Amino acid sequence: MYKKPIIIACPVCDLIHRVEEISHGNNAGCSRCGAVLLRKKRNSVERTLALTIASLFTFVPASFSPIITLKTLGEIRSNNVFTGVYELFMGGFPDIALFVLLFSVIIPLIKLLSLLYILTPISFNISAPGSAYLFRMYLSVNRWAMLEVYLIGILVALTKLGDIATVIIGPGMYAFIALIILTLFISLAMDSNEIWTRIEGAA
């Protein structure tokens, strides 16, 4: 139940709607084009916060521990996100190195840290300064985090190299998969409308 009815415009066809209540786990859909107007999620702040903290813990091994170790012709080489970025940088492609770093490390990290900063006070019904600005940034930058794409890239590389050399999957791989699953759950558990209401209300 919302304290007062929410008046919202459809993001796709712009038709105005008046939403009085949505039960947990359901959506309100636009009557003209069917787009989702609002979602109501149960315990969204607590669940999102818990998932964010868990994600931050997995973030460290996911980024730093070796993901693939290649054994061939007597040489052993390991890689993680950073070695890939480093080699691109040294190979004369600093710009691409930056993009890879941005999409697979920097932006996912910024998203997680922002959520931590915003949601921790919110779960105590206080709004930390700059929450609105940070959450705005979170929502703008959301689609530029490409962790799952990187994972498929790893799997393709694994298969390609597995054919010609011995490939060992390192701990980083499991942490990486865990991180992706956790961030997926974050996107499922997060109720942005609820967060905006709390930021606005507690400010």
Residue 198 CA to residue 189 CA, distance in Å, equals: 16
The three-class DSSP label of residue 34 is: coil
> By C-beta, is 68 or 190 nearer to another protein?
68
By beta-carbon proximity to another protein, the closer residue of 46 and 95 is 95
Helix (H) or strand (E) holding 189: helix 171-189
Is residue 84 a contact residue for another protein (CB under 8 A)? yes
Say whether residue 156 binds another protein (CB under 8 A): yes
Between CA 56 and CA 119 the distance in angstroms is 14
Nearer to another protein, 112 or 134 (CB): 134
Q: Which helix (H) or strand (E) holds 141?
A: helix 131-141
Owner of token pair 């920097």: 106
To the nearest whole angstrom, how small is the minimum distance from the Cβ of residue 57 to another protein? 23
Q: How many residues bind another protein (CB under 8 A)?
A: 68
Contact status, residue 62 vs residue 104, Cβ threshold 8 Å: no
Cite the beta strand spans of 23-163 per DSSP E: 27-29, 36-39, 68-72, 75-79
By the rule CB under 8 A, 140 interacts with another protein: yes
Measured from the CB atom, the residue of 46 and 200 that comes closer to another protein is 200
Q: How far is the CB of 32 from another protein (least distance, A)?
A: 7
Taking the alpha carbons at both ends of the chain, their separation in whole angstroms is 22
Which residues sit at the interface with another protein, rule CB under 8 A? 7-9, 11-20, 28, 30-35, 68, 70, 72-73, 75, 77, 79, 83-88, 91-93, 95-97, 99-100, 103-104, 132-133, 135-136, 139-140, 143-144, 146, 149-150, 152-154, 156-157, 159-161, 163, 192-193, 196, 199-200
